[in-house]
Structure 1
């Protein structure tokens, strides 16, 4: 009995200093929810600092951050990155001000659950672990596109952890040991997408340690609600493909030709749609089941166009250092 209690205390004694870095751009609508989520963390308040970095917002974001820093029950620092318009440059500003041995990342439009930080930090008890990725789930949504994204599990880290080139975690829910950043450098400040994969791969390729997945460390994220936002999200994924192809040599996504589009949509119209319509009448399928294929073709097309039209800027190759 006594032996067991010793084990649990040793397990819970692992409480390194943690710095949570959040880049913020024009997010006055999201700030109060974000700060409420950070304030509700179960990780001991005296072992964590929150570095919220305004990236040249044109709304009241910076003022609200400064007010929160002055009045919050948790330790908030309101910082700004006005030189470079990029979430990675803003993250670097946060990292440079950080005092923790573990740097954790999330985004302004995310809702970290109360156990998030505690679960995200636990795997670092093993000194071989240098990166931990937590899970990203959807905030409850009821529009067709939110339901589609939910069905596809678009945001889940399982996609990035299974990347054919090398596993990585998205910065919406990621933690990195500070010593790894000292060795490989920070984010590429002029990169506008793909920086999470890039930094994880640089760390893993130098064999500094391994990446661990912490499924209990959950962050909720809002899905896109309009076709315009959905297309823009997938074009960004396409640009990310192109940039990572240039930086790391990953394979590009193959383009679909007209015959393949025709085949997919034909199969949908004559096979899937009638079958799912019958199911829908019986109450066993929803609108999102009926429109799944055309939406998938739509996002594939957006991703391919993003990949095709992107060109990695020369300065995006620059790596910043601590």
Structure 2
């Protein structure tokens, strides 16, 4: 719907920025996350970090309070214990934010040092309401992580190329506060698709353009078990169903058992023998050998998520500032 352009920079443009991070049972991620936040090159006096505990059951709340005590002028702690939803937690952070730009990432992400500096620079253009940075993979450790890295599963290039309208994932996204004042906040009871929804509402209201800042990089760990991988792709399917109900997005075609069987047979009798020979010659990896069955596994999970999802009436609620 809206034209994508690439980022420009200006050393003189330094608006106040509020970074909102929802956290649920993030005990294991917090040390590395905080190190990444403290390493940001954006001027600290123009920056605030709002870490929102979403009813964690581990030591997250204790750790957050310890961190806030160490860095009281930079890190603020909020809590969202009424609604178990990352979008409700983000809304809590937005309401507490004082910045003219509100940025977002997640607890399991690893922003690179210049991330905020590069992500915020395009807002010098007053017609820009949304800036999207890139998400790259942390070094893969096992087969499933290598598969996802090969597919660039987390890359924003997929969401920016969405045929309905481009959007950015909240793992690496910034929005002008004025835009949020006009269209409202995230839908707090939605459990997936809220990032697309808020970006589309802003663009559909012609409040401002979306711009891509490819050098504003956040790293993220891919799912490393079949259970996590299935959950991820089922969520993608649910998201598509919700966005179909909310915005009329076209539903994805289901992959039938017959089609799945045909592709597995083709893999077993044609692709696998060929790739096995390449592997012996050092020209193919285990990911090459298993690419088709893993791809079918994720496709079936996404189709199941879309097929089984039902949007609740409460999920249509939009909170306001």
Whether the 8 Å contact between 1:39 and 1:73 is mirrored in structure 2 is no
Q: Counterparts of 1:204-219 in structure 2 under 5 Å?
A: 204-219=203-218
In 1, Cα distance between the equivalents of 2:66 and 2:10?
Answer: 37
In 1, Cα distance between the equivalents of 2:216 and 2:73?
Answer: 20
Moved over 6 A (4+): none
Q: 1:261 offset after TM fit, Å?
A: 1.1
Quote the residue 2:130 is aligned against. Answer: 131
Q: Say whether residues 1:117 and 2:127 are aligned partners.
A: no
In 2, Cα distance between the equivalents of 1:230 and 1:63?
Answer: 30
| Aligned length, in residue pairs | 313
Q: 1:209 offset after TM fit, Å?
A: 1.1
In 1, Cα distance between the equivalents of 2:60 and 2:300?
Answer: 34
In 2, Cα distance between the equivalents of 1:61 and 1:32?
Answer: 11
Q: Say whether residues 1:233 and 2:232 are aligned partners.
A: yes
Q: 1:259 offset after TM fit, Å?
A: 2.4
| SS in structure 1 of the partner of residue 28 of structure 2 | helix
Quote the residue 1:293 is aligned against. Answer: 292
Quote the residue 1:250 is aligned against. Answer: 249
| SS in structure 2 of the partner of residue 14 of structure 1 | coil
Q: 1:263 offset after TM fit, Å?
A: 2.1
**TM-score scaled by structure 2?**
0.96
CA RMSD of aligned residues (A): 1.0
| SS in structure 2 of the partner of residue 53 of structure 1 | strand
| Per-residue CA distance 1:61-93 (angstroms, 9 max, x = gap) | 011111101103860001100110000000000
Q: Say whether residues 1:30 and 2:29 are aligned partners.
A: yes
In 1, Cα distance between the equivalents of 2:72 and 2:266?
Answer: 57
Give structure 2 stretches of 5+ with no counterpart.
1-8
In 2, Cα distance between the equivalents of 1:142 and 1:91?
Answer: 31
Whether the 8 Å contact between 1:39 and 1:74 is mirrored in structure 2 is no
Q: 1:171 offset after TM fit, Å?
A: 0.1
Quote the residue 1:260 is aligned against. Answer: 259
In 1, Cα distance between the equivalents of 2:72 and 2:283?
Answer: 48
In 2, Cα distance between the equivalents of 1:51 and 1:99?
Answer: 10
Quote the residue 1:275 is aligned against. Answer: 274
Q: 1:104 offset after TM fit, Å?
A: 0.2
